[in-house]
Homo-oligomer: A and B are copies of this chain.
Amino acid sequence: MSDNRTGTAGGRAATLSDVAKIAGVSLATASKAINGRGEVAAATRQRVLEAAKKISFTPNELARSLINGRTGTVGLLTSDLEGRFVIPILMGAEDAFGAGQVNVFLCDARGDAIREQHHLNALLTRRVDGIIVVGRSTDPRPSLGHNIPVPVVYAYAPSEDPTDVSITPDNRAGGRLAVEHLVACGRSKIAMITGEAAYAAAQDRAAGVMDALGDAGLELVGRPMFSEWSEHWGRDASAMLFRQFPDIDGIVAGSDQIARGVLDTMRDLGREVPHDVAVVSFDNWEILATNSRPELTSIDANLQQLGRMAATRIFDAIDGTAATPGVENLPGRLVIRGSTIARR
- Which residues of A are interface residues toward B (Cβ below 8 A)? 6-9, 12-13, 56, 58-63, 65-66, 69, 71, 73, 76, 81-84, 86-87, 90-91, 94, 99-101, 103-108, 110, 115, 118-119, 121-127, 146-151, 230-232, 235, 257, 260-261, 264, 287-288, 291-293
Knowing A87-B82, A125-B61, A127-B62 are in contact, say whether A119-B99 is a contact too (CB < 8 A).
yes
Q: Which of B84, B100, B126, B235 contacts A73 (CB 8 A)?
A: B126
Listed A/B pairs (10) with beta-carbon separation below 8 Å: A7-B149, A8-B147, A73-B126, A82-B87, A100-B115, A100-B119, A100-B122, A103-B123, A105-B106, A257-B287
How far is it, in angstroms, between the C-alpha of A126 and the C-alpha of B65 when the chains are bound?
10
Q: Are B99 and A115 in contact, CB atoms less than 8 angstroms apart?
A: yes
Contacts of A105 in B (CB 8 A): 73, 103-106
Contacts of A108 in B (CB 8 A): 87, 90-91, 94
Knowing A87-B83, A287-B257 are in contact, say whether A62-B60 is a contact too (CB < 8 A).
no
Knowing A99-B119, A103-B122, A264-B293 are in contact, say whether A62-B65 is a contact too (CB < 8 A).
yes
Contacts of A150 in B (CB 8 A): 9
